[in-house]
Structures are given as structure tokens and as C-alpha cells.
Amino acid sequence: MEYTPVHLNSYIYPHLESIEITNSEINRTLYTDKNTDTQINFKRETTPNVFENYSVIVPASNTIESINFSINIENSDFN
């Protein structure tokens, strides 16, 4: 991926570090509300003060069990 670091909703997940590594699998654990959809926003800076964003919705699971949700991000996902 070009233009690292990629930041995740820092106001919702302040404990997560930005994604710095490119061309590899990166795992993060995010806790969301199981009863509502959660929007996760990714942001990167391509040139000084020019940002691109990508958002994904993690759907509500409405279950008491933990679930895994994978997000694969490509350069073309950002706009």
C-alpha cells in the first residue's frame, strides 16, 4: 500500500497505532457494538494536507458470541 501511515478512527480507537507496514497482513482487534452497525474510517495523507479516506461498515451481529470480520484494503479503495 502506498502512502503510509494509514490511520483508523483515532477518536473511537485511540489505543490503536497507525498502520505503517506495506504489502503484508496486519491484524487489529476492534471492539464494536454487537447490536448496531459500526463504521470504521481509514485515512491517509498522500501529499501535505491532502487526505484520502476509506470507510467500511461492520454489520451488527445481534449475537452474544464474538465474531471475526476481515477487511482487505487496497490502494484503489481510497478516494
Q: Which phi and psi angles does 15 have, rounded to 5°?
A: -80, -10
**Average pLDDT estimate for 14-27:** 70
pLDDT of residue 32: 84
Average pLDDT over residues 33-40: 90
Chain-centre distance for alpha carbon 36: 17
Answer yes or no: is pLDDT of 20 > 80.
no
- What's the rounded mean pLDDT across residues 43-56? 92
Q: In the predicted model, what is the mean pLDDT of the chain?
A: 83
Single-letter amino acid, residue 50: V
Closest among 65, 58, 50, 48 to 9, alpha carbons compared: 58
How far is residue 16's CA from residue 46's CA, in Å, rounded to a whole number?
21
Output the pLDDT for position 69: 85
CA atoms within 13 A on the CB side of 77: 16
